[in-house]
Amino acid sequence: MVNAGFIIRLFVIQHDCGHGAFFLSRIWNTWCGRIIGVLTLTPYAVWKQNHALHHATTGNLDHRGTGDIPTLTIAEYRAKPLVARVGYRLLRHPLVLFGVLAAFNFLVWNRVPPNPLNARHGEWKSALGNDAAIVALLGSLYLLGGVPVLVFVYLPMMVLAAIAGTWLFYVQHQFEETSWDQDADWTVQNAAFHGSSYYVLPLVLTWVTANIGAHHIHHLASRIPFYRLPEVLRDYGELNEVGRITIRQSLGCAKLALWDEAGRRLVSFSEARKLPA
């Protein structure tokens, strides 16, 4: 568990490198991100590009699908055939989303670019370079400790880190009072301020997650490094109440699955059934 926490903190540092926030030098950010990407099983250049699109489209109903949790409106869900509705419900089930898909995303899906058939040369170079370095890392672990180290130490560590990391990303945008808008009404500032949460964690977990819980501030100003986010919260006290979610409150977010355009909130499947068509 401690090792998994270390991986999560490394991922946030890699994340800051992708925003050009961890070092002043672009070269240092790039190489630090690439090296950490071997440990987090995340090809740096591919992830950086997709994460930039996430920042540019988060909360935009007309530009969903890149770097976010698949989310349908109630009307879209009701209009889909039965098999598609069943598939979506399965996808949004916590055991699938935070268990199967979280592990699959980091262990398998990250081994190739998100759109393999249309990927550019640079994306394949990033993904395959990351894969080669991971193979070298796994080979070294095998030589040092054999199969038991890989199966009983490395694999559980990475799966646990993937589950926790996916949960963190989920809570950052999938909460009841989040914000989604059609393209004509969407602004990056509103999406950042109202579509991202402030996940309040105990001090130890705040350190492990490298302050990424202050996600509303990060989306407003992504060049602020994680180690400066507490200063922003201290100097601008009003930001402490925006999108604030505690651990207990966050547990209820797992059931949210559909965007209610009329009520402007995320709702569960059971709540959606009670709303008029």
Q: Kindly report the pTM of this predicted structure.
A: 0.92
Q: Provide the percentage of residues in the chain whose pLDDT is more than 90.
A: 88
Phi, psi of 141 (to 5 degrees): -65, -35
Average pLDDT over residues 12-28: 96
Q: Residue 268's beta-bridge partner residues?
A: 256
pLDDT of residue 68: 85
Phi, psi of 41 (to 5 degrees): 60, 35
Q: Which two tokens stand for residue 103?
A: 């592990």
Amino acid at 247: I
Average pLDDT over residues 36-63: 94
Rounded to an integer, what distance in angstroms lies between the CA atom of residue 113 and that of residue 96? 22
pLDDT of residue 131: 96
Rounded to an integer, what distance in angstroms lies between the CA atom of residue 213 and that of residue 164? 13
Residues near 271 by beta carbon (within 8 Å), at least 6 away in sequence: 260
- Local confidence band at 170 (pLDDT 50, 70, 90 cut-offs): very high
